[in-house]
Chain A
Amino acid sequence: MEQDHFNQKPKRDAQFITPPNTLKSKVGDGGLTEVILNRAQDLLENNTQDFRPLAEIYLEQMQNGLQSAQNALTADTDENKNEKLIAQILYPCVQLKANGGMFHYQLVTDIANVFVKFMEVVERLDAETLEIAQAFYTSIKLIINGQIKGDGGPKGKALMDELNSACKRYFEKHKEKINIDKI
Chain B
Amino acid sequence: MSYQLNKITVLVVEDNKPMLDLTKSILKSFGVGTVETALDGEEGFRKFCSTNPDLVIVDWMMEPMDGISMCRHIRNSDESPNQYVPVILMTGFSEKKRVISARDAGITEFLVKPFNVRALYKRLVQIVEKPRQFVRVEDFFGPDRRRKRKAEDYSGPFKRKTDAEKFSAKKKDKVEHIDFR
A contact set with B: CB distance below 8 Å? 11-19, 21-24, 26-33, 36-37, 39-41, 43-44, 47, 49-51, 54, 91, 94-95, 97-103, 106, 109, 112, 116-117, 120, 182
Contacts and interface: CB of A to CB of B under 8 A. Distances in A.
Tell me whether chain A's interface is mostly helix, strand or loop, or mixed. Answer: helix
A13 B90 CA distance: 31
Interface in B60-77: 61
A26 B8 contact: yes
Nearest to B31: A36
Given A17-B134, A18-B133, A94-B92, A43 B54 contact: no
A116 B90 CA distance: 16
Given A23-B86, A109-B114, A14 B136 contact: yes
Interface string B7-30: 110000000101101100110011
**Residues of B in contact with A, size category:** 35 or more
Contact of A16 (B54, B97, B128, B135): B135
A98 B92 contact: yes
A17 B142 CA distance: 10
A106 B114 CA distance: 9
A116 B116 contact: no
